[in-house]
Protein backbone atom coordinates (compact mmCIF):
# COMPACT_ATOMS: atom_id res chain seq x y z
CA UNK A 1 0.00 0.00 0.00
CA UNK A 2 1.28 3.51 -0.83
CA UNK A 3 3.11 5.00 2.14
CA UNK A 4 1.19 8.21 1.58
CA UNK A 5 -2.15 6.58 2.41
CA UNK A 6 -3.89 8.92 4.81
CA UNK A 7 -6.16 8.35 7.77
CA UNK A 8 -8.80 10.70 9.05
CA UNK A 9 -8.26 11.97 12.58
CA UNK A 10 -11.45 11.44 14.49
CA UNK A 11 -11.22 14.72 16.29
CA UNK A 12 -13.66 17.48 15.48
CA UNK A 13 -13.80 21.00 16.83
CA UNK A 14 -16.79 23.32 16.58
CA UNK A 15 -16.38 27.02 15.99
CA UNK A 16 -18.72 28.87 18.36
CA UNK A 17 -18.76 32.63 18.30
CA UNK A 18 -20.63 35.01 20.55
CA UNK A 19 -24.12 36.16 19.60
CA UNK A 20 -24.32 38.85 16.95
CA UNK A 21 -26.85 41.65 17.07
CA UNK A 22 -29.66 41.82 14.55
CA UNK A 23 -30.90 44.96 12.83
CA UNK A 24 -33.22 45.62 15.78
CA UNK A 25 -30.39 45.27 18.29
CA UNK A 26 -31.68 41.89 19.46
CA UNK A 27 -29.17 39.09 19.93
CA UNK A 28 -29.36 36.39 17.27
CA UNK A 29 -28.32 32.75 17.49
CA UNK A 30 -24.57 32.19 17.28
CA UNK A 31 -23.55 30.46 14.05
CA UNK A 32 -21.82 27.11 14.33
CA UNK A 33 -19.11 25.82 11.99
CA UNK A 34 -17.55 22.38 12.52
CA UNK A 35 -13.83 22.16 11.70
CA UNK A 36 -12.32 18.68 11.42
CA UNK A 37 -8.72 17.57 10.88
CA UNK A 38 -7.91 15.19 8.04
CA UNK A 39 -4.45 13.75 7.40
CA UNK A 40 -4.51 13.74 3.63
CA UNK A 41 -2.51 15.44 0.90
CA UNK A 42 -4.31 18.32 -0.86
CA UNK A 43 -3.13 16.71 -4.09
CA UNK A 44 -5.46 13.77 -3.42
CA UNK A 45 -8.68 15.28 -2.05
CA UNK A 46 -12.03 14.69 -3.72
CA UNK A 47 -13.91 17.87 -3.01
CA UNK A 48 -15.81 20.71 -4.63
CA UNK A 49 -13.17 23.15 -3.39
CA UNK A 50 -9.60 22.58 -2.26
CA UNK A 51 -7.85 25.66 -0.85
CA UNK A 52 -4.05 25.91 -0.68
CA UNK A 53 -1.59 28.74 -0.06
CA UNK A 54 1.56 29.95 -1.82
CA UNK A 55 4.31 32.35 -0.81
CA UNK A 56 5.61 35.08 -3.09
CA UNK A 57 6.53 33.81 -6.54
CA UNK A 58 10.28 34.28 -6.11
CA UNK A 59 13.12 31.90 -7.06
CA UNK A 60 13.90 31.40 -3.35
CA UNK A 61 10.35 30.23 -2.62
CA UNK A 62 10.45 26.75 -4.09
CA UNK A 63 7.71 24.15 -3.85
CA UNK A 64 7.98 21.11 -1.60
CA UNK A 65 5.91 18.09 -0.59
CA UNK A 66 2.25 18.28 -1.54
CA UNK A 67 2.79 21.44 -3.60
CA UNK A 68 5.15 19.48 -5.84
CA UNK A 69 2.53 16.73 -6.08
CA UNK A 70 -0.13 19.25 -7.07
CA UNK A 71 2.16 20.86 -9.64
CA UNK A 72 3.01 17.48 -11.14
CA UNK A 73 -0.65 16.49 -11.40
CA UNK A 74 -1.38 19.86 -13.04
CA UNK A 75 1.49 19.27 -15.50
CA UNK A 76 3.51 22.21 -14.20
CA UNK A 77 0.67 24.73 -14.07
CA UNK A 78 1.62 26.06 -10.63
CA UNK A 79 5.11 26.89 -11.85
CA UNK A 80 3.66 28.45 -14.98
CA UNK A 81 1.43 30.88 -13.09
CA UNK A 82 4.11 31.73 -10.51
CA UNK A 83 5.60 34.34 -12.80
CA UNK A 84 5.87 38.12 -12.27
CA UNK A 85 2.57 39.71 -13.21
CA UNK A 86 0.62 36.44 -13.20
CA UNK A 87 0.26 35.20 -9.61
CA UNK A 88 2.67 37.02 -7.32
CA UNK A 89 1.56 35.26 -4.13
CA UNK A 90 1.10 38.59 -2.34
CA UNK A 91 -0.68 38.33 1.00
CA UNK A 92 -4.40 37.96 0.34
CA UNK A 93 -4.07 37.59 -3.44
CA UNK A 94 -6.29 34.83 -4.81
CA UNK A 95 -6.61 32.83 -7.99
CA UNK A 96 -9.19 30.14 -8.77
CA UNK A 97 -8.41 27.17 -11.02
CA UNK A 98 -10.62 24.53 -12.56
CA UNK A 99 -8.28 21.51 -12.77
CA UNK A 100 -8.40 19.80 -16.18
CA UNK A 101 -9.92 16.32 -16.31
CA UNK A 102 -7.49 13.63 -15.27
CA UNK A 103 -5.39 15.88 -13.04
CA UNK A 104 -6.60 16.79 -9.54
CA UNK A 105 -9.72 15.21 -8.06
CA UNK A 106 -10.84 18.56 -6.62
CA UNK A 107 -13.38 20.33 -8.84
CA UNK A 108 -11.95 23.75 -7.98
CA UNK A 109 -8.58 24.83 -6.58
CA UNK A 110 -8.39 28.18 -4.78
CA UNK A 111 -4.91 29.54 -4.09
CA UNK A 112 -4.38 32.27 -1.49
CA UNK A 113 -1.14 34.26 -1.38
CA UNK A 114 0.92 34.29 1.82
CA UNK A 115 3.32 37.12 0.97
CA UNK A 116 7.07 36.96 1.50
CA UNK A 117 8.34 33.83 3.19
CA UNK A 118 11.21 35.55 5.00
CA UNK A 119 8.90 37.69 7.13
CA UNK A 120 6.16 35.14 7.65
CA UNK A 121 4.44 34.85 11.02
CA UNK A 122 1.37 32.74 11.90
CA UNK A 123 -0.64 35.93 12.44
CA UNK A 124 -0.88 36.32 8.66
CA UNK A 125 -3.07 33.24 8.59
CA UNK A 126 -5.90 35.11 10.33
CA UNK A 127 -6.52 37.08 7.13
CA UNK A 128 -6.09 33.91 5.07
CA UNK A 129 -8.76 32.16 7.15
CA UNK A 130 -11.17 35.05 6.60
CA UNK A 131 -10.55 34.97 2.86
CA UNK A 132 -10.95 31.19 2.72
CA UNK A 133 -14.35 31.21 4.38
CA UNK A 134 -15.68 34.18 2.45
CA UNK A 135 -14.52 32.85 -0.93
CA UNK A 136 -15.88 29.37 -0.21
CA UNK A 137 -19.20 30.93 0.75
CA UNK A 138 -19.24 33.18 -2.34
CA UNK A 139 -18.67 30.11 -4.50
CA UNK A 140 -21.51 28.26 -2.78
CA UNK A 141 -19.31 25.45 -1.42
CA UNK A 142 -20.79 23.47 1.47
CA UNK A 143 -17.74 21.38 2.45
CA UNK A 144 -14.50 23.15 1.50
CA UNK A 145 -11.10 21.72 2.38
CA UNK A 146 -8.22 23.93 3.53
CA UNK A 147 -4.49 23.22 3.54
CA UNK A 148 -2.17 25.97 4.83
CA UNK A 149 0.81 24.49 2.88
CA UNK A 150 3.20 26.67 4.89
CA UNK A 151 5.62 23.80 5.47
CA UNK A 152 5.38 22.74 1.83
CA UNK A 153 6.12 26.34 0.88
CA UNK A 154 9.48 26.01 2.64
CA UNK A 155 8.78 27.74 5.98
CA UNK A 156 9.44 25.34 8.85
CA UNK A 157 10.06 27.56 11.89
CA UNK A 158 6.52 27.68 13.27
CA UNK A 159 4.29 25.15 15.00
CA UNK A 160 1.40 23.91 12.89
CA UNK A 161 -0.87 24.51 15.87
CA UNK A 162 -0.05 28.22 15.83
CA UNK A 163 -0.88 28.37 12.12
CA UNK A 164 -4.14 26.45 12.59
CA UNK A 165 -5.24 28.65 15.48
CA UNK A 166 -4.95 31.80 13.38
CA UNK A 167 -6.73 30.23 10.40
CA UNK A 168 -9.68 29.14 12.54
CA UNK A 169 -9.83 32.56 14.19
CA UNK A 170 -10.21 33.91 10.68
CA UNK A 171 -12.95 31.37 9.90
CA UNK A 172 -14.72 32.38 13.09
CA UNK A 173 -14.65 36.12 12.54
CA UNK A 174 -15.59 35.87 8.87
CA UNK A 175 -18.52 33.71 9.92
CA UNK A 176 -19.55 36.36 12.44
CA UNK A 177 -19.54 39.08 9.79
CA UNK A 178 -21.55 36.91 7.38
CA UNK A 179 -24.05 36.27 10.16
CA UNK A 180 -24.38 40.00 10.84
CA UNK A 181 -25.05 40.64 7.15
CA UNK A 182 -27.72 37.95 7.04
CA UNK A 183 -29.38 39.32 10.17
CA UNK A 184 -29.69 42.63 8.34
CA UNK A 185 -31.12 40.92 5.25
CA UNK A 186 -27.99 41.94 3.33
CA UNK A 187 -26.68 38.51 2.38
CA UNK A 188 -27.84 35.11 1.15
CA UNK A 189 -27.95 32.13 3.56
CA UNK A 190 -24.52 30.80 4.45
CA UNK A 191 -23.42 28.12 1.98
CA UNK A 192 -20.51 26.72 4.02
CA UNK A 193 -21.60 23.89 6.31
CA UNK A 194 -18.21 22.82 7.66
CA UNK A 195 -14.48 23.04 6.96
CA UNK A 196 -11.92 20.26 6.75
CA UNK A 197 -8.38 21.23 7.76
CA UNK A 198 -5.58 19.15 6.25
CA UNK A 199 -2.44 18.24 8.19
CA UNK A 200 0.40 15.76 7.87
CA UNK A 201 0.14 12.73 10.13
CA UNK A 202 2.92 13.86 12.47
CA UNK A 203 1.40 17.34 12.79
CA UNK A 204 -2.25 16.34 13.23
CA UNK A 205 -2.30 16.50 17.03
CA UNK A 206 -0.61 19.91 17.13
CA UNK A 207 -2.98 21.18 14.45
CA UNK A 208 -5.97 19.96 16.46
CA UNK A 209 -4.57 21.67 19.54
CA UNK A 210 -4.40 24.98 17.67
CA UNK A 211 -7.97 24.58 16.46
CA UNK A 212 -9.09 23.80 20.01
CA UNK A 213 -7.33 26.94 21.26
CA UNK A 214 -9.26 29.05 18.75
CA UNK A 215 -12.51 27.39 19.81
CA UNK A 216 -11.91 28.01 23.49
CA UNK A 217 -11.18 31.66 22.76
CA UNK A 218 -14.38 31.90 20.74
CA UNK A 219 -16.46 30.70 23.68
CA UNK A 220 -15.26 33.41 26.07
- Read off the pLDDT of residues 174-185 as tens digits, 9 standing for 90 and up: 999 988 898 888
What are the tens digits of pLDDT across the range 65-95? 999 999 999 999 999 999 888 999 999 999 9
Q: What is the pLDDT at residue 14?
A: 42
Q: What is the pLDDT at residue 20?
A: 43
- Does an H or E element contain 161, and which? helix 160-183
What are the tens digits of pLDDT across the range 112-167? 999 999 999 999 999 999 999 999 999 999 999 999 999 999 999 999 999 999 99
Q: What is the largest CA-CA distance in the chain?
A: 59
Between CA 99 and CA 81 the distance in angstroms is: 14
Q: What is the pLDDT at residue 9?
A: 34
Q: What is the pLDDT at residue 27?
A: 47
55-64, 109-118, 130-139, 199-208: range with lowest mean pLDDT:
55-64
Mean pLDDT of 99-120: 97
Q: Where are the domains of the chain?
A: 31-218
The pTM of the full predicted model, rounded to 2 decimals, is 0.86
Higher pLDDT, 148 or 33: 148
Between CA 123 and CA 211 the distance in angstroms is: 14
Q: What is the pLDDT at residue 116?
A: 95
Average pLDDT score, the chain: 87
Q: Yes or no: is domain 31-218 CATH 3.30.499.10? A: no
Residue 147 CB coordination number (10 Å): 24
Amino acid sequence: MNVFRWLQILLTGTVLIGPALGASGQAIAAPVLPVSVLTQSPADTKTDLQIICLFNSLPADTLHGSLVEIDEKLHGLLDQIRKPGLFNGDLGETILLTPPAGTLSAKKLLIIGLGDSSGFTPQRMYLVGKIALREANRLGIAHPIFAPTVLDGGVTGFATGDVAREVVRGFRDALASESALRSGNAAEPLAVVDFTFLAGAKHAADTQSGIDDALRTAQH
